[in-house]
């Protein structure tokens, strides 16, 4: 059986590019903690947007969909789930809310992980919700011709309970000793969790929920305002590539955590950069709302959609955004591309 001794392997991760990412994330957290504490009310809209995006993206990675309208109503609890997909979306919404509101009181223990998994499936009534896998499972991939092959063989079912227990104990011990930067420890824990693959279903979604939980408990709460799940979904191929590289030779205790750690730190740093930009937009002094919208489009290289503009300035109504877009287009300052749901805008740099 595998031992999870993080203190013996974390030093191998202290290479220049990973250390640089750690330093940057520490700087971002220091800069933004005071703003978050002082402007909690201003950031409420960002939290709402991030909840919708996180719920959508984490489920989308697993092929679980519903319409944009239904998704928004489900996350805002303005409707009840109608389909199996919507039941799982609603379950994710509730577990995400639990973590947002009570992370300080939710330690990473086997009993807690089982409870979170139970709640993930509470609307679907599936019997395996809140229970470890009852049969061995595999992580497979499918090529363009539909041929499947086994990419990784997780821990067998009979070992799962003990494996999760040892994993959580190793994490708690590493935290108590305080030798490892938690930004390194968290993705190592998540990689091992995914290699154990403790459930019949829901392992990927649980891994992303646990990532948020551990980040919040460590004081990195950017995921409440910027959807880390969306950033993962947008780089899904890179995510799976890093996961595959770091899981090679895992059973032999010779795997390299670096690819997955490097990927996750890049995602966290990207979330903080995005948050920093949105904070700057929200606090732009002396600019009217139309001027802020104009500045966002001008500073964006390439296309930008109306919904992306709304994400960047959640305090501005859709009516004001639409009116400003129309005015900028009439004045020739922006160019409209596409139509319908594919409509986007670019800054007319020929007029600069």
Domains of the chain: residue spans and CATH: 6-281 (1.10.3290.10), 286-351 (1.10.10.10)
The rounded distance, in Å, linking the Cα atoms of 156 and 160 is: 6
Q: What is the pLDDT along the chain (352 residues), one digit of tens a residue?
A: 788 989 888 999 999 999 999 999 999 998 887 777 766 677 888 898 899 999 999 999 999 999 989 999 999 999 999 999 999 999 999 999 999 999 999 999 999 999 999 999 999 888 899 999 999 988 877 666 777 778 889 999 999 999 999 999 999 999 999 999 999 999 999 999 999 999 999 999 999 999 999 999 999 999 999 999 999 999 999 999 999 999 999 999 999 999 999 999 999 999 999 898 777 776 665 678 898 899 889 888 889 999 888 877 777 888 999 999 999 999 999 999 998 888 999 999 887 6
30 by Cβ neighbours in 10 Å (0-12 / 13-18 / 19+) ranks as exposed
Q: Is 322 within 8 Å of 308 (Cβ atoms)?
A: no
pTM: 0.86
| End-to-end C-alpha distance for the chain, whole angstroms | 65
The two tokens of residue 108 are 């990473």
């Amino acid at each position: 059986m595998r031992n999870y001794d993080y203190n013996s392997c974390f030093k191998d991760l202290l290479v220049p590019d990973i250390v640089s990412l750690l330093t940057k994330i520490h700087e971002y957290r220091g800069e933004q903690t005071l703003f978050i504490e002082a402007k909690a009310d201003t950031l409420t809209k960002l939290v709402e947007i991030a909840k919708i995006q996180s719920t959508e993206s984490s489920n989308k990675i697993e092929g679980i969909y519903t319409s944009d309208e239904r998704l928004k109503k489900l996350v805002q609890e303005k409707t009840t789930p109608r389909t199996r997909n919507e039941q799982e979306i609603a379950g994710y919404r509730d577990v995400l809310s639990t973590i947002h509101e009570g992370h300080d009181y939710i330690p990473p223990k086997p009993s807690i992980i089982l409870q979170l998994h139970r709640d993930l499936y509470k609307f679907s009534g599936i019997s395996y919700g809140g229970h470890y896998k009852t049969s061995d499972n595999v992580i497979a991939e499918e090529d363009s011709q539909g041929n499947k092959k086994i990419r990784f063989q997780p821990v067998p079912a009979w070992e799962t309970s003990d494996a999760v227990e040892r994993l959580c104990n190793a994490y708690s011990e590493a935290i108590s000793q305080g030798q490892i930067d938690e930004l390194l420890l968290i993705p190592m824990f998540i990689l091992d969790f995914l290699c154990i693959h403790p459930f019949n279903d829901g392992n990927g979604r649980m891994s992303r929920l646990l990532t948020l939980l551990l980040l919040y408990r460590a004081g990195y709460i950017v995921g409440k305002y910027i959807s880390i799940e969306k950033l993962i979904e947008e780089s899904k191929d890179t995510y799976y590539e890093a996961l595959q590289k770091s899981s090679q030779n895992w059973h032999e205790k010779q795997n390299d955590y670096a690819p997955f750690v490097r990927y996750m730190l890049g995602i966290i740093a990207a979330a903080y950069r995005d948050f920093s930009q949105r904070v700057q937009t929200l606090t732009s002094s002396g600019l009217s709302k139309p001027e802020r919208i104009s500045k966002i489009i001008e500073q964006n290289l390439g296309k930008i959609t109306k919904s992306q503009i709304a994400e960047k300035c959640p305090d501005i109504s859709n009516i004001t955004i639409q009116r400003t877009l129309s005015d900028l287009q009439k004045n020739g300052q922006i160019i409209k591309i596409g139509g319908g749901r594919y409509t986007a805008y670019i800054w007319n740099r020929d007029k600069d």
